[in-house]
Structure 1
């Protein structure tokens, strides 16, 4: 999927600070994290994303759900 026509736009909107080959390739990023039982960094607040904890529990804490 490296030929994503939206990659440049996605990179402008990407809030994830982790450096990887999937930045800007949202479909690949979401699929990777889903397969790992994780949530992509862009679902978190800035502070939540900075913890690099991609668990569902971390997302809930980050958004004050639990």
Structure 2
């Protein structure tokens, strides 16, 4: 198994998460698995405004995407 994420540099350029101290930032596989284990959705799936709430709940995702 590789020691790190081979796409980390590319992912960081496109990462929209504003939680800058997250150790999963740019490591999309780890981020998705982490939020899924909590019944949440990663911030990159939200609109810019929705992401800033840091509420990763499915309910907030539905509200956020419904406002588009």
TM-score normalised to the size of structure 2? 0.89
Q: CA RMSD in A?
A: 1.4
1:4/1:61 Cα in 2 relative to 1: closer, same or farther (>3 Å)?
same
Match of 2:10 in 1: 9
Match of 2:34 in 1: 32
Equivalent residue pairs, number: 65
Q: Structure 1 regions of 5+ residues with no counterpart?
A: none
1:38/1:2 Cα in 2 relative to 1: closer, same or farther (>3 Å)?
farther
Q: Structure 2 regions of 5+ residues with no counterpart?
A: none
1:9/1:63 Cα in 2 relative to 1: closer, same or farther (>3 Å)?
same
Query: Residue 2 of structure 1: CA displacement?
Result: 5.4
Structure 1: 4+ residue segments shifted above 3 A: none
1:13/1:2 Cα in 2 relative to 1: closer, same or farther (>3 Å)?
farther
Match of 1:60 in 2: 62
Match of 2:49 in 1: 47
